[in-house]
Structure formats: structure tokens, C-alpha cells
Amino acid sequence: MKDHLIIFDTTLRDGEQSPGASMTKEEKVRIAKQLEKMRVDVIEAGFPAASEGDFDSVQAVAKVIKDSTVCGLARAVEHDIVKAGLAIAPANSGRIHTFIATSPIHMEMKLRMTPDQVVERAVWAVKRARDFTDNVEFSPEDAGRSELDFLCRVIEAAIDAGATTINIPDTVGYNVPEQFGYLFKQLLERIPNADKAVFSAHCHNDLGLAVANSLAAVTHGARQVECTINGLGERAGNTALEELVMAVRTRQDYFAVDTRIHTPEILTASRLVSNITGFSVQPNKAIVGANAFAHESGIHQDGVLKHRETYEIMRAEDVGWSTNKMVLGKHSGRNAFKTRLQELGIEFETEQQLNDAFVRFKELADRKHEIYDEDLQALVTDANIERVENESIRLVALKVAAEMGEQPSATVTLSLEGQELTASAVGSGVVDATFKAIEQIVNSQTSLELYSVSNVTNGTDSLGETSVRLEKGGRIVNGQGSDTDIVTASAKAYINALNKFSDAAIKAHPQRQETV
Ligand code: KIV
Ligand code: ZN
């Protein structure tokens, strides 16, 4: 009988701490729903004390998620714990994750607290969090560089105070697998009340070892792993959920644990996070990269055709790669459309939303004859964006001209708070000209930090998904758009980002304060 390995996803918290990866409340809810569908056990929805927007996002996730525990992060201070407690209150199952640094360098240079004061504060924080929920996680921040005796002391005290999960963060990604695994072994052997809590690993990828370190921790007794979709996270990122889960699932002969993750949802989650944050996935990325299951070399192809297991250790379908079969076309009716969406787990709240999506589907089918599952997913994401975001700027018309040897130009008509305005501009390409024309109308004074395009399916008639990142006065937003025409998709993404500026706030960072 295998032990259950708890999957704690922190895409919405540590993932969002990645510079430029900020997400709106609606985007967080969309990702959280996908995580729930994937059967993630715990969703860390954010740091509620960071800003009113973060509080609202955690609360919104807590309201809609039913099957996963919703967690809020809090430093070991009254304000943070109260905010986290209130934000998770609507959840079916809620958790507070409180932390304080325990490494000599953090205690001395950042907190300016003595070890005794840190133990006292940790105990206080866990007890205070227990006033809101009996599901309390405690992290000794920078555990990977903390002294073992002190770590044992603070963890024992935190468990006595009521912590039910003890998370061991390798905050700066300094550890190597044997060492990190051995740390778990020692903690579990030496802490007298260790059996009263679940031990968890939280690794950063600065040396490219986050997944390996997490797996070593699992081998030595960790029963929760903290991870993010696509390994998003501070600096080089966190443990990639898809890699960790598939390593455990594929090597059931080796690991004494398994997760409850519904792996066919992995690719959808990866695409959703990549599209929302604008962080694209490298083609050779394990599990979710475009080449992860592609067999280029003739020898490999021959082997795979003769017997799949010669070169494949996992089945592409098991992580959500479809066989790219055409699923719908121009003549498909509303019922076929609805049925396929239901099979993909996509539901609409109202009949009107389904009708709107069907109109979009027909428009798309006129331009693109074969519609794949990926197209349907992109189409619905695009519809969601327009429905959910507060749109004060709308794209009404777009005309571009490009001719070899001539300067590309664009003419854009926008509806701005209901008033239609048109502008034309030239640029180094049609996308550049389009963005300049938009700027002539809105004069947003933002700077473009990122622009990326990816195709949803193969072929030149594919839908293009675009991401745009804009910055203004320290605030960063990401916009998305999709269309078979990439200039239109780009304009949609740019406008989507502009529409988000009203909601974007400068947030406090949970780990960068001098004292608590
Ligand atoms: O990396 C880290 O130490 C963290 C803590 C807040 C758990 O993210
Ligand atoms: Zn972290």
C-alpha cells in the first residue's frame, strides 16, 4: 500500500513572485479551477497581506474551490495572519501557511532577531493561526542553510504549538539531493513529535536541482511537495509540478508514494499558466515542452513504431497531449460543439455564454477547416478573457499593410469608454505599427516588457496565442489574445493588458522585509 504524497501547488503565490508573472483575480481563479480539476491537494492562492487585490484573489479562490484545500501565506506577524485567516474563511477546507527565517544569516541580517526570539515568534504565529483554522503549516525559511540543532528545536516547538504541516524550504536553491534527503531523514529521526505533522519539501531551482531535491526528500519521508506549474517561481523557479508528479507516477517501482493527480490535465494547466503569465515553455522542457514526446531521429522513430516502450517511458496522452485528430469542422452543429466541450470538461455558467462561444467557433471554422481540442480550449480562454475583464478599451477594427521594400503600417479603431477613435502608424513590422497606432489613441505611457507568440496547433492556419507584458511605475500586467491572424491576436493581447492596468497594484513581497 503506497503512502499518499500531498501535492501543494504554489503557482499563484511563489509562482507569482517571479518578476513579471503577476496575475489578476480572474486569472488566478481560472488557474485555481484548473488545479482543482487536476486534483491538486492544496492550492496556495497568494499572500493576502500583500495588497487588497491579493486578499480579494485569495478570498475569491477560497469561495469557488471545493475539492482542494485553499491556503494563504502569512509572515509571523499579527496583520498577516489575520488577513490570511479572513481570506481563507470561505473555503471548504482552508489552511494558513506561516513562516519565519531560521538560518543564521537571515536571523541576523534580515530579521535582526536572536534564535530565542525566533522560536518564541514561531510558536506565537502557529498558535495565532490556529485561532482561524486547525490546518496550519509552518515553514522555517531558509531551512536549507539553517543549523540542524536549531531547526529541530524550532520545528518541535511549532508542532507542539499546533502546526500540522512542517515545510522545509531550500529558499535559495543551495542544497544538493543527497544532502537535502539526509536533512529529512535526520529531522524525522531527531524531532520527538515529528509523527504529529506531515513533512513537506519546498525547493528552488537555482542550481537546477529543485525536482531532484524534492524527490530525495520524498525518499526520506517527505509526504508533501510544494511545486508550481512549469516550475514558475522566484529567480530560477520552484519544483515543476509536472516533472515531480510524472517522476513519481512513472517510477512506481522506486517510490513508496503516489499522488492523486489526474495527469491528463497537466498540459492544459501548463498552457494556461504560460499564456496568462507570458512565460513560454521551452521546447525541450520535460513533460510539457513541444518536443517532449517528439521522436526526430530515424532510429528512434523506427523503434517507437515497432514497440513504443523502446524509447518512450511515458505515454503522451497521459499528460494531455492529444493525437491531434480533427475533432470538429465547419459543418459541426451546436450539439457536437457542446458535447466536445463537455468531454474536455469545459462548462459555461449560462446558455448565452455557450451561444456566444458557438458563434466564435463558427467564425473560426470559416477560417480554419479542422478544429482541434487545443483550438477549442484557446477559443474558450479568449471568450473568458473578454467576458471577465473589465473592458474599457475594445478593438473595433484593424487594417495592416506590408509590402517588401515599403514600411509596414497599421490603422486601428478602438472603442474607448464607448467612443470610437482611429489612428494610423508605421513601424518596423505590422505588429509594431499596430502597437504604435494603439498607443497614439490611448497614450498609456507604459513600456513593453515582453511580447511572445505561440501556435496552438501545427500548420499555418493555427490559432496564434500572444502574450504582452506592460510596465508602468513598477506595476506589471500581462495580456493575452488569440486569433488565426497573429496581428489581431497581438492587438487583442496589448489591449487586454491595457485594460488590466486599473486593477494592478504594487504588492508587498513576503520574503523581503528587514524585520518582522
Ligand atoms: O522559498 C521559501 O522559503 C518560501 C517560503 C515562504 C516558504 O517560499
Ligand atoms: Zn519559495
Give the Å distance between the CA of 348 and the centre of ligand 1: 36
Between CA 402 and CA 380 the distance in angstroms is 31
Same domain, 223 and 190: yes
List the single range of 115-119, 155-159, 393-397, 508-512 with lowest mean pLDDT. Answer: 508-512
pLDDT per residue as tens digits for the range 81-119: 999 999 999 999 999 999 999 999 999 999 999 999 999
The residue nearest atom 3 of ligand 1, judged by CA position, is 171
Same domain, 91 and 223: yes
Give the Å distance between the CA of 170 and the centre of ligand 1: 8
Provide the grid cell at 192.
520527538
Give the Å distance between the CA of 500 and the centre of ligand 2: 26
Q: Which atom of ligand 1 is nearest to the CA of 10?
A: 8
The residue nearest atom 1 of ligand 1, judged by CA position, is 171
- Identity (one letter) of the amino acid at 388? V
pLDDT at 299 over 70: no
pLDDT per residue as tens digits for the range 117-170: 999 999 999 999 999 999 999 999 999 999 999 999 999 999 999 999 999 999
Same domain, 342 and 485: no
Give the Å distance between the CA of 34 and the centre of ligand 2: 22
Per-residue pLDDT, 503? 61
86: in domain: yes
Range of the domain at 169: 3-285
pLDDT-derived band at 254, boundaries 50, 70, 90: very high
142: in domain: yes
Residue 270 CB partners (closer than 8 Å, separation 6+): 229, 230, 242, 281, 287, 288
374: in domain: yes
Same domain, 275 and 420: no
Same domain, 450 and 308: no
Give the Å distance between the CA of 311 and the centre of ligand 1: 38
Q: Would you say 295 is a known binding-site residue?
A: no
Residue 317, helix vs strand vs coil: helix
Same domain, 257 and 302: no
Same domain, 204 and 341: no
pLDDT at 296 over 60: no
Among 213, 266, 365, 246, which Cα is nearest to 313's?
246
Query: Ligand 1 pocket: which of 12, 14, 47 to mutate (most atoms <8 Å of CB)?
Result: 14
Q: Which atom of ligand 1 is nearest to the CA of 17?
A: 8
CATH code for the domain in which residue 498 is found: 3.30.160.270
Q: Which atom of ligand 1 is nearest to the CA of 139?
A: 7
Same domain, 297 and 402: no
Taking residues 476-491, report their average pLDDT.
Answer: 92
Per-residue pLDDT, 383? 67
Per-residue pLDDT, 44? 98
Q: Would you say 202 is a known binding-site residue?
A: yes
Same domain, 360 and 299: no
Structural domain ending residue among the three candidates 285, 315, 345: 285
Same domain, 243 and 351: no
CATH code for the domain in which residue 95 is found: 3.20.20.70
Strands (E), 29-153: 42-46, 69-75, 94-101, 136-141
Residue 176, helix vs strand vs coil: coil
Residue 510 CB partners (closer than 8 Å, separation 6+): 17, 47, 49, 50, 73, 75, 80, 99
512: in domain: no
Give the Å distance between the CA of 510 and the centre of ligand 1: 9
Query: Ligand 1 pocket: which of 42, 99, 137 to mutate (most atoms <8 Å of CB)?
Result: 99
273: in domain: yes
Same domain, 315 and 238: no
516: in domain: no
Same domain, 103 and 203: yes
515: in domain: no
Ligand 1 proximal residues by C-beta, below 6 Å = 14, 99, 139, 141, 167, 169, 171, 202, 204, 510-511
What is the number of domains present in the chain?
4
514: in domain: no
pTM: 0.86
